[in-house]
Amino acid sequence: MEAEGRKFYSAIVDVTSPESTEKFATDVVENLGDVKVLVNNAGIYPWKPFSETDFDTWRKVIGVNLDGTFLMSKAFVPIMVQNQYGRIVNVASTTFFMNAQQMTAYIASKGGIIGFTRALAGEVGKDGVTVNVIAPGLTNTSTMKGVNEEIFETLPNMQAIPRVIEPKDLVGVVSFLCSDDSAFVTGQTIVADGGQVRN
Ligand SMILES: NC(=O)c1ccc[n+]([C@@H]2O[C@H](COP(=O)([O-])OP(=O)(O)OC[C@H]3O[C@@H](n4cnc5c(N)ncnc54)[C@H](O)[C@@H]3O)[C@@H](O)[C@H]2O)c1
């Protein structure tokens, strides 16, 4: 598919599957010829107290959020290392830095992503690959609205910039981390939450 003169390729991928992520990486190279950027955005966030978080829920959240970030990186890092260039942006959450309740599996997975990012950055920096995290605050997406609509009434008021964060508010940070301008930034977590937490 081509739009506005740029090549575009899309596929359905299960980020919890080694086979699916490996196939996707092969197909992307076949269709686009090169890979410069990987944004690991897939994630789930069931809202449950610890007492109701069974092992299946835990495994599912860790599976998509943390295993998914690992598997997509496993699939794409060799291509980036071969090209001696790459930008990886992992998506965590400002909840990692907060007293946020009913999110044990989620916050554990996002903490894992931050740790994974720091460690991977240390291994691939010499190959021209940077690995960073964006940690957004509560953002107005339809999934988030479906999970907990009431929180939009209160949480934005706790931010230094007291309005609801829209997806477009995060675009500049991700673009920066994907660009040549961030060549010397790696292993970092940039919190984009309207100034709610200080990390
Ligand atoms: N919305 C927020 O308030 C908020 C705040 C901080 C961080 N985040 C993070 O931002 C990311 C996007 O969240 P969102 O609110 O846009 O949710 P979303 O549901 O719109 O996006 C998540 C995407 O992940 C995909 N996905 C789920 N399981 C998958 C799997 N096994 N394989 C491949 N894809 C899978 C879904 O299909 C969906 O397209 C998540 O990582 C989330 O944790 C969201």
- Please tell me if the CB atom of residue 21 comes closer than 6 angstroms to any atom of ligand 1: no
Question: Among 6-10, 74-78, 122-126, 139-143, which stretch is predicted with the lowest mean pLDDT?
Answer: 6-10
Dist. CA 120–CA 64, nearest whole Å: 19
CA distance 136 to 32: 29
Is 185 inside a domain boundary?
yes
Number of separate domains in the chain: 1
Residue 176 lies in a domain: yes
Q: Would you say residue 99 lies in a domain?
A: yes
Residue 9 lies in a domain: no
- Look up tokens 């890092």; give the residue: 77
Is 56 a member of any domain?
yes
Q: Per-residue pLDDT tens for 167-191?
A: 999 999 999 999 999 999 999 999 9
If one residue of 17, 39, 47, 64 were mutated to test the ligand 1 pocket, choosing by the most ligand atoms within 8 A of its CB, it would be 64
Domain around 74: 36-192
Whether pTM exceeds 0.85: yes
Instruction: Say if ligand 1 is within 6 A of residue 15 CB.
Output: yes
Domain membership flag for residue 68: yes
93: closest CA among 74, 78, 113?
113
CATH number, residue 145: 3.40.50.720
22 within some domain = no
| Residue 3 within any structural domain of the chain | no
Give yes or no for residue 63 CB within 6 A of ligand 1.
no
**Residue 124 CB partners (closer than 8 Å, separation 6+):** 77, 80, 81, 86, 131
| Beta carbons within 8 Å of 62's beta carbon, 6+ residues apart | 105, 108, 109, 112
- For residue range 18-60, list pLDDT tens digits in order: 999 999 999 999 999 989 999 999 999 999 999 999 999 999 9
8 A C-beta contact, residue 100 and residue 154? no
